[in-house]
Structure 1
Amino acid sequence: MTGLKLISLADRIELTALGTTAVLVVTEPRALDRAEDVLRSELTAVDEACSRFRADSEISRLHDRAGSTVVVSPLLAEALSVAMRAAALTDGLVDPTVGDAVLALGYDRDFAAVAADHPEPAAPARPAPGWWRVAWNPETREVLLPRGVTLDLGATAKAMVVDRIALRAAERAGCGVLVSVGGDVRAAGPAPEEGWRLGVGDDHSQAEPDLTVTITGGGLATSGTTRRTWRRAGRTVHHIVDPHTGDVPSPVWRTVTAAAATCVDANIATTASIVMGDAAPGWLAERRLPARLVTAAGEITNTAGWPAEQES
């Protein structure tokens, strides 16, 4: 729900999906219907496969069969591989086994239905079980989920579907496409001559962005602690969990926006940065990932060539 807002003028479709706003823009107006078909089918498919808020989703059925080996669909297999790769790349800072911790904080339904203020305190925080406990064979699509482990693929699955939509819509429509779901962005196909212009800020729906950037391809993502928040026994909490503690991380960064070759890689970087706190700028710089990090007080740190602040 944070970060990036498309401000280029082009033909677009906008709809509500996955608890947020999805936007698809094409460079050729005649191709919009074909691209829209991809958008709608991919969003529906990932919701049916990965939503932990649906009792009939594939991942809910996987939880019901914890302790047994299950062969999952190609789409859920892709989502699991993306989540496990994120955990490996970040040494467990982005860990899909945080499901119970997120539930304990009160994020147990679509965010629009989450109570703004829970009077009862959350259960004592406990570290996530650990992604390495999930026995996953991507070649056979077999997964053995230990009993007592709840998966949350939310962030990485959303970024994954952004990449899938952009690539497939560009191929089907035969033109340039830009996709944004909840402010996470991927561009594919030929970009407009002036590039895709994006407003960057704490909230992708804000009227006036903090600055404007232009991309011609690849992904951008923002993770933040300002939008998906609620109160628990008088304490403000949010949807990003530190797997090492099972609680929200120390409030170092308000938002982190990063660019990468894919939306998935950008999302991995921003989520990990929120969790790791003070070490994030060095971690991002070592990986040559352009990023913009904003503290709770509004102080800005840029890494790896992220453009300096400018008038939008």
Structure 2
Amino acid sequence: MAPPVPPPRVARTWRFDAIGTTWEIVGDAPIGDARAAIADVLERFDAAWSRFRADSLVSRLADSGGAMPAPPDAAPMLDAFVELSSATEGAVNPLIGASLERLGYDAAYSLVGGDPVAAPAQWTDLLSWGDGLLSLDGPAVIDVGALGKGRLVDLVAAEIARVSPSGFVVDAGGDLVVRGAAQRVGLEHPFDPRRAIGVWEVTDAALCASAINRRAWGEGLHHVLDARTGLPVRTIAATWAVGPTAMRADAVATALFFDGGPRIAHEWSVEWVRMTTDGRVEWSPGCGAELFTREASVER
């Protein structure tokens, strides 16, 4: 008698590339039914917020300003930017896109550094959202990179939760949401990717990270800019944040490059670790990360 034919294997892991990074989704249940919905979420978000697409909403607004129907993410993200901007005394600003483009991080990926430009300090006088509209009073380049990927991870996680309610991990190039079983996540050393400065066990939470060795080009050029000057930051090398949502963890990971980061992390109940460019490590009171370094201090 021939052996029974095993049932077809149902994929519980899905890897793909989107928005310039590699994603991996692992579910406790089959995730195939969510793929179409996730692809739609990714496309709609990219079509609204990508600086790298000529047909996106932000690219069309950049040319001359105006008003367009607001994407559903506008209010959650831009409301958070108001708090980030206040906490960091203007260092985080969604109109930083012009300086990123001048420094070479543009739609063509020219990666040729030019002259930076400060973002408009009173950015809410130019950019407004409400009554179903996203409005820009004149040409400017919106960039939501300070928290946008985190927001998208949350949206994808919501779709996965529909088909894998008992547990899953959504990992978008190191920004991740964990539901169900705990996951131990290594904190990559920003100066040596073969090493980790610690491990953080994440359960039913999001972990997001940012570092100057990621999306870096040229000498001293990377994607984390101080909106007040348009220049890349110099004192912080890497940050990690764990919070209830990926958008808030991502936002705090950006804010931690500036003095006001610890304050907004406390207000938002986000734990954090950061490493300075001279190798010191700081962390929030009660932080659950297991750090390997001896040169560390608690930020109070």
TM range (shorter): 0.7 to 0.9
- Pair 70,109 (structure 1): closer, same or farther in 2 beyond 3 Å: closer
Letter aligned with residue 162 of structure 1:
V
Partner SS state of residue 60, structure 2: helix
CA distance in 1, matches of 2:161, 2:250: 21
Letter aligned with residue 178 of structure 1:
V
Q: Is the 8 A contact 1:17 1:43 kept in 2?
A: yes
The answer to whether the aligner puts 1:216 opposite 2:215 as a matched pair is: no
Q: Corresponding residue for 1:243?
A: 227
- Paired residues for 1:182-197 under 5 Å: 182-188=173-179, 191-192=180-181, 195-197=182-184
1:11 Cα offset (Å): 3.7
Q: Corresponding residue for 1:61?
A: 60
1:221 Cα offset (Å): 0.9
Q: Corresponding residue for 1:26?
A: 27
Q: Corresponding residue for 1:257?
A: 240
Q: Corresponding residue for 2:101?
A: 103
Aligned partner of 1:87 among 79, 85, 88 = 85
Partner SS state of residue 231, structure 2: coil
**Could you tell me the TM-score, scaled by structure 1's length?**
0.79
CA distance in 2, matches of 1:288, 1:261: 8
Q: How many pairs align?
A: 281
Higher RCO, 1 vs 2 (CA within 8 Å, ≥6 residues apart): 1
Letter aligned with residue 52 of structure 2:
F
1:54 Cα offset (Å): 0.5
Letter aligned with residue 44 of structure 1:
E
Q: Corresponding residue for 1:4?
A: none
1:90 Cα offset (Å): 4.4
- Paired residues for 1:128-207 under 5 Å: 128-138=120-130, 140-188=131-179, 191-192=180-181, 195-202=182-189, 206=193
1:39 Cα offset (Å): 3.2
Aligned partner of 2:273 among 270, 282, 292 = 292
Q: Corresponding residue for 2:7?
A: none
Deviations 1:149-185 (A, max 9, x none): 2111123221101011112210243331221212111
Q: Is the 8 A contact 2:243 2:270 kept in 1?
A: yes
- Pair 300,78 (structure 1): closer, same or farther in 2 beyond 3 Å: closer
- Pair 25,130 (structure 1): closer, same or farther in 2 beyond 3 Å: farther
Partner SS state of residue 97, structure 2: helix
Q: Which has the larger radius of gyration?
A: 2
Q: Is the 8 A contact 1:197 1:213 kept in 2?
A: yes
Q: Is the 8 A contact 2:116 2:229 kept in 1?
A: no
Stretches of 4+ moved more than 6 A in 1?
none
5+ residue gaps in structure 2? 1-10, 294-300
CA distance in 2, matches of 1:137, 1:48: 18
- Pair 281,81 (structure 1): closer, same or farther in 2 beyond 3 Å: closer
Structure with more of its chain in strand, by fraction: 2
Q: Is the 8 A contact 2:92 2:146 kept in 1?
A: no
Q: Corresponding residue for 1:7?
A: none
**Could you tell me the TM-score, scaled by structure 2's length?**
0.82
What percent identity do the matched residue pairs reach? 26
